[in-house]
Amino acid sequence: NFGWLLRTMHANGASFFFICIYLHVGRGMYYGSYLFTPTWMIGVIILFLVMGTAFMGYVLPWGQMSFWGATVITNLLSAIPYLGIDLVQWVWGGFAVDNATLTRFFTFHFILPFIVLAMTMIHLLFLHQTGSNNPIGLNSNVDKIPFHPYFTYKDIVGFIVMFFFLIILVLINPYLLGDPDNFIPANPLVTPAHIQP
């Protein structure tokens, strides 16, 4: 039923999405967009929300790397003084990473993209108020061109090119960006060899 196609497009699409995000952040740093503090800070919040969404999605296949990734990353919360242990147990929904954790992560993996979408709208609102930046950092209002059709066509072409490469990757080698250990069902008694301390 081509479920493998949908799943691998979703998983690899997340990697492609992060490529676009890192290019966007790099461009923002090069252009000095961090000087527009509200726009930049909303972007940083979006980055953390997207990273959280991707992490929770990575846990959902419930393979060895998913399970142990969830165990290691959620245990980082235990370093918070006084609240750490209780916070970890609250995130887990018990005393270890288990089915309750998986259910919570699935729920948040579904909900967080809507929050990311709302934050993106706020990001664009702030960007609309301050205006875009350029590499020289000077006001270039006299040289501005309309968003449509110039930038819409550029963005559509960029999307089509990225989608083309995503389709090529998914059809030729869909598991290239995945970890082979994630095909092994989660086992709390066996740690994958390459992540042992």
**Domains along the chain?**
3-135+147-185 (1.20.810.10)
Question: What is the pLDDT averaged over residues 8-21?
Answer: 98
What percent of the chain clears pLDDT 70, i.e. is strictly above it? 99
pLDDT tens for 173-197 read 999 999 999 999 999 999 988 876 5
Residue 166: C-alpha distances to residues 116, 137, 152, 163 (Å):
22, 34, 21, 5
- Tell me: pLDDT of 23 over 90: yes
State the pLDDT at residue 197.
Answer: 55
State the pLDDT at residue 196.
Answer: 64
pLDDT tens for 41-74 read 999 999 999 999 999 999 999 999 999 999 999 9
pLDDT tier, 144 (very low <50, low <70, confident <90, very high otherwise): confident
Query: Which residues in the chain belong to E strands, given as ranges?
Result: none
On average, the pLDDT of the chain sits at: 94
Phi/psi for 191 (5° steps) reads -90, 135
pTM (2 decimals)?
0.92
Distance CA 45, CA 58 (A): 20
- Tell me: pLDDT of 19 over 90: yes
pLDDT tens for 115-130 read 999 999 999 999 988 8
Distance CA 138, CA 135 (A): 8
- Shortest CA distance to 58 belongs to which of 117, 17, 92, 102? 102
State the pLDDT at residue 128.
Answer: 87
Distance CA 195, CA 197 (A): 6
* 94: three-class secondary structure by DSSP: coil
What percent of the chain clears pLDDT 90, i.e. is strictly above it? 82
pLDDT tier, 164 (very low <50, low <70, confident <90, very high otherwise): very high
Q: Please tell me whether the peptide bond between 135 and the residue prior to it is cis, using omega within 30 degrees of 0.
A: no
